[in-house]
Structure 1
Amino acid sequence: MAWGKRMPPRGRAEAATNKPERRDAARAGEPAEAERRSTTPRADTASQRGPTRQEPAQARGRQRKEALLDAAVDLIEAGGFAQVTHRAVADRATLPLAATTYYFRSREDLLTQAFARLVQRDVAAMRERLRPVADTGPAAVADAVVSALAPAGEAERSRQLALWELYFQVGREPAFRPFARAWTDGCHEIVAEVLAEAGYPHTPWDVDILVATIEGMIARDLVEARPDAIRAMIDTVARLLPALQATAPADGPAG
């Protein structure tokens, strides 16, 4: 009975000989099978869930940065750039203090980007104030030009006061210079468009004279708040236009 349960010596030898072969065959098939099991489902899962996790995080980041920039602009308009600190901006945006240092590497970086946003808003507001020039007389053209460039209402006065404060800071903060130039260039483009629509021959120097005159009077008005300041700007530009027209090239609008 006991012998019947044991494997004969020859059988044991054959089994011992065959075991390595079976093990080698199994091992040979393992990598392909393991690769089939692991890579295919894993790649499918990554392709399905990757974008859904990343996009909301990016959107939240953009929203946070926009909120911080808006808060910085609000602070500049309300009390000047001296009011802009990382903590004040974070408090205004109701975001953690660490958010400001994450999105803006320094206070100068924050102020620079806020200055850029102020310029964009002011140039856009000037374009919104543009209107067709029906009458091409000096008084009507002067009114169109001044109405586009001069701030309308207290909110726009606060924005332009903030812009002028930052503008004069450019001498100490050269990083602001490109945005200061963009503001001036925007004013030049708008004045040139009005003159071209009214059929006034002009050169870039003519446009620069008008812009410099109007901007100087706007800056004085923001500081001194004299009565009838806008009327004085219109009258001054109306006097300049005929003189500029007399010295402009005879072959039509330019610049």
Structure 2
Amino acid sequence: MARNPERRTALVDAAIEVLAREGARGLTFRAVDQEAGVPVGTASNYFASRDDLFTQAGTRIHVRMTPDPDEARQAMSPEPSRELLTELMRWLVRRMTENRTGYLAMLELRLEGTRRPALQAELNHAVRADFESNVQLYKESGFPGDTDTFLALFLAMTGLLLEHFTLPDLLSDRAVDDLVDTVVTRIVPDA
């Protein structure tokens, strides 16, 4: 197995691009090689199997979608309130929109995980770890509501993002920020 970490990262980033554009069926070693602009056969030297490529793409997407810690600290610095939570959810939507490719690739990986138990297990592990970390942060930060409030907000925002990316005309009569406001206002109690 090849050991050039920069090349591996470039190949995984290329895999994410292919996933977002072509879907899981289009994710082949040849397609990754072409997207990365490397000789045919390069990806197969870096990944033991397609399953390995899927798993590493999932891991890389989480790295790419995680906010910069300094930005996150600054975003969380005001007093916890429903208004701050609304701003944080708007920030989340902006970050996901800016990384549209990563978000679409993650959706593809989740669907593919229903057919690949090892991938599903890896995604369950990664998403659960992020979820539990965010629940803990929510509780420690003193936002209004409890863990069920956070769960409802998580599920609602996940649904909002799914519709925003896959069927943008469905809710096109409402601005995304207005939808975020509605979600937060309906779910999070006023402190």
Taking structure 2 as the reference length, the TM-score comes to 0.77
Offset at residue 162 of structure 1 (A): 1.7
Is 1:121–2:69 an aligned residue pair? Answer: no
Q: Letter of the aligned partner of 2:140 in structure 1?
A: A
Higher relative contact order (CA closer than 8 Å, sequence separation 6+): 2
Kindly indicate which of the two structures has a greater share of residues assigned to helix.
Answer: 1
2:127 to 164, 183, 194: 183
Is the Cα–Cα contact under 8 Å of residues 188 and 207 in structure 1 kept in the other structure? no
Task: Evaluate the alpha carbon distance shift between residue 190 and residue 151 of structure 1 in structure 2; reply closer, same or farther with a 3 A threshold.
Answer: farther
Unaligned runs of 5+ residues in structure 1 are 1-57, 246-255
Task: Evaluate the alpha carbon distance shift between residue 62 and residue 110 of structure 1 in structure 2; reply closer, same or farther with a 3 A threshold.
Answer: same
Offset at residue 187 of structure 1 (A): 4.4
Which structure is larger by alpha-carbon Rg, 1 or 2?
1
Matched with 1:88 is: 31
Q: Letter of the aligned partner of 1:118 in structure 2?
A: I
1:236 to 165, 183, 187: 183
Q: Letter of the aligned partner of 1:186 in structure 2?
A: D
Aligned residues: 184
Task: Evaluate the alpha carbon distance shift between residue 88 and residue 174 of structure 1 in structure 2; reply closer, same or farther with a 3 A threshold.
Answer: same
Offset at residue 121 of structure 1 (A): 1.3
Offset at residue 209 of structure 1 (A): 2.0
Is the Cα–Cα contact under 8 Å of residues 129 and 147 in structure 1 kept in the other structure? no
SS in 1 for 2:66: helix
Offset at residue 133 of structure 1 (A): 5.2
Is 1:200–2:147 an aligned residue pair? Answer: no
Matched with 1:35 is: none
CA separation in 1, counterparts of 2:132 and 2:93? 13
Is the Cα–Cα contact under 8 Å of residues 81 and 143 in structure 2 kept in the other structure? no
CA separation in 2, counterparts of 1:148 and 1:185? 21
Unaligned runs of 5+ residues in structure 2 are none
Task: Evaluate the alpha carbon distance shift between residue 182 and residue 76 of structure 1 in structure 2; reply closer, same or farther with a 3 A threshold.
Answer: same
Q: Letter of the aligned partner of 1:229 in structure 2?
A: V
Identify which range, 211-220 or 79-88, moves more after superposition.
79-88
Q: What is the CA deviation profile of residues 155-209 of structure 1, one whole-angstrom value per residue up to 9, with x for unaligned ones?
A: 4223212211211221111122222442354245336425532443523x33222
Offset at residue 119 of structure 1 (A): 1.8
CA separation in 2, counterparts of 1:224 and 1:107? 29
SS in 2 for 1:124: coil
